[in-house]
Amino acid sequence: MDLEEKIAEYQFTGEGLSGFLIERTAKRLKRAFQQELTKMNAGLTADQWVVMDLLANKGALNQLEICRYLAKDPPTVTRILDLLVDKQLLQRKTDPEDRRRFLVSLTRGGMNRHFELITRVKEFRKKHFNALSPYDIELLLSVLEKINQSIDEE
């Protein structure tokens, strides 16, 4: 089967290039990760972990920046942040550059929780991506980035 036939097959079956395979894989990975967090007694959802990991890697961000990084709407991000603040893992402080906004960052407890979990999270990722060669991972990331850029250009 040549490339054009393969593309045509994916376009007409509702899988692959239509986004179905990408969406299904993302959902399965998220579900498996949630189960792993539950096994770890992390007390976090997958979405909460992603916010904590983002802040651990990027430092303090405002809510709009978090929304953009996660591709989630503001009400959803607000709920996630509220829950993490209630758990004393995040804090909100007025942005010194714009007093109408808040900067969100990890508390000391949040940093400690991230540190406690990161090794197991990396093991989870490694377990599920070990079938991919470094080239496969580079190609996957490149393709996904191109799709995201195409969407951004609209």
pLDDT tens track for 55-84: 999 999 999 999 999 999 999 999 999 999
Q: What is the pLDDT of residue 70?
A: 94
Q: How much helix, strand and coil, in percent to the nearest 5, is found in the chain?
A: 70, 10, 20
Q: Quote the radius of gyration of the chain (alpha carbons, Å).
A: 18
Look at residue 21 in the predicted model and tell me its pLDDT. Answer: 80
pLDDT > 90: what percent of the chain? 69
Q: Considering the entire predicted model, what is its pTM? A: 0.83
Question: Residue 7: what pLDDT?
Answer: 61
Q: Where are the domains of the chain?
A: 34-152
The model's pLDDT over 89-121, given as tens digits with 9 standing for 90+, comes to 999 999 888 888 999 999 999 999 999 999 999
CATH 1.10.10.10 at 34-152, yes or no: yes
Q: How far is CA 77 from CA 89, 99, 101, in A?
A: 15, 20, 14
DSSP state of 60: S
Compute CA distances 126 → 58, 67, 91, whole Å: 22, 27, 31
